Amino acid sequence: MNILKKKIHNLINENGPISLAKFMEISLGDEKYGYYRKKMPLGSGGDFVTSPDISQIFGEIIGIWILDIWIKLNKPKNFQIVDLGGGRGTLLKDINRVLKGKVSNFIFLDINDELKKQQKKALKDASHFEKIEDIPNKTTIFIGNEFLDALPLHQFIKKDKSWKEVCVSSENNKLFFSHEDTELSKKLFKNDHRDIKEGSVIEINFKIRKIINYISNFIKKNSGAAIFFDYGYVDGNGDIRMHRIKEVYRGDPVSMHIYADDNGERGHEGYTCLTHRDQITKDPSATCDLCGSDLHPVHYVNRANGKEQAFIEGEVLHFSKYSPSRLYGRSPVMTMWNHITTLIAMENYVNSAYTKARKPRGILAVQTRNMESMKSFWRGVKEKMEQDPHFIPVMGIESEGGKGSVAVSYTHLTLPTNREV
């Protein structure tokens, strides 16, 4: 018998059956022997793999969302990102790739010593905390990927017309589940849930409530946001109760279309079943003709190879990079063309201003009665100045009779050497 198992047996023998929450708390979080403290749970040598280990796109999409939140918060400098149970640090590393140095404060909330080492390799300047209460007070984004479902919970089962708490008992050095009348089961199920059928199970997680309340108050005080990802399922009516990302891939903008009405509003034009997504109806009150499941508003449709595949709200992440809008935004080619034509116009303006409209460096005033000779000379000067903008002509003009002096004055034009801005 290992040390942790012996510790649980001793606790039960001294105090009686323990709740499932207490059993999970000891098994997962014991300071010396807990699963999440000492074991490497991730990867090929562990017990599970999470979305960040499957594709970097998962973290990059979250990074885009964080960047949007950061901009909406007026780009605060004192800003941090907290990963609750950060795994090997892959998620924050992928997020940081998108942020490109705009956020430099990263925090891992973790109790696993081995994972902390890998997190340091992923983000060497990141900080580590084991208690959420120790996180510094500043604008914060909280991320929890498959974090909440790992917290200890209480489980109750309806048996013999009453609600029992699922506990862990010990007998002959063996642990097993038992159904007990506990103070908690009596308190929680006095009058509620009488009509639920026998064998039904209800799970209540007080740890989640405590953490969510803390994060909510933290954000209310310091500003920020939070996002969580966890498991889920579709119930018998076709409704999504919870959901887990199974795959992330880039949609082809040629075949993926927004499903909107004439006003550009999504979710009002068609409805589909989550199982038979090629079936789209206009009637919001209908059910699926093939399986009878409830229908959901269609927001996007992928049209390829003569087939349609409908997507509901939250399944497609759509970004109009070049000109944000409710629909498609502006074509990248059109945006580039506008930039190019603007740059060409600017270059033409500068060229025209320098070669044709610029002010002369000086003014030469000549007092003469022989204007024909003056004009002839000036035509030659203009030709030379077009070839050499810095050419300064030497002018000699005869008087009308070919004798006498000609009055000449020269003014040199310069910009002020000192000015106040």
pLDDT in tens, 251-269: 777 888 889 888 888 888 8
Report the C-alpha gap between 63 and 100 in whole angstroms: 10
pLDDT of residue 239: 57
Rounded CA-CA distance 16/271 in Å is: 53
Report the DSSP pairing between strands 296-304 and 307-312: antiparallel
Q: Which residues of the chain have pLDDT under 50?
A: 404, 406, 413-421
Sequence letter at residue 164: K
- Residue 377, helix vs strand vs coil: helix
- Which residue type occupies 71? I
Select from 203, 137, 195 the least CA-distant residue to 166: 203
- Compute the distance between CA of residue 415 and CA of residue 397 in angstroms, rounded to an integer: 30
pLDDT score of 286: 82
Instruction: For residue 138, give the DSSP letter.
Output: S
H-helix or E-strand spanning residue 258: strand 256-258
The whole-angstrom separation of Cα 266 and Cα 326 is 9
Strands 233-234 and 224-229: unpaired
Separation of alpha carbons 302 and 298, rounded Å:
11
pLDDT score of 415: 45
Residue 51's alpha-carbon distances to 86, 88, 149, in angstroms, are: 12, 12, 15
**Stretch (H or E) spanning 97:** helix 90-99
- Find where tokens 């605060």 sit: 76
Which phi-psi region, left, alpha or beta, contains residue 329 (left: φ > 0; alpha: ψ -120 to 50)? Answer: left
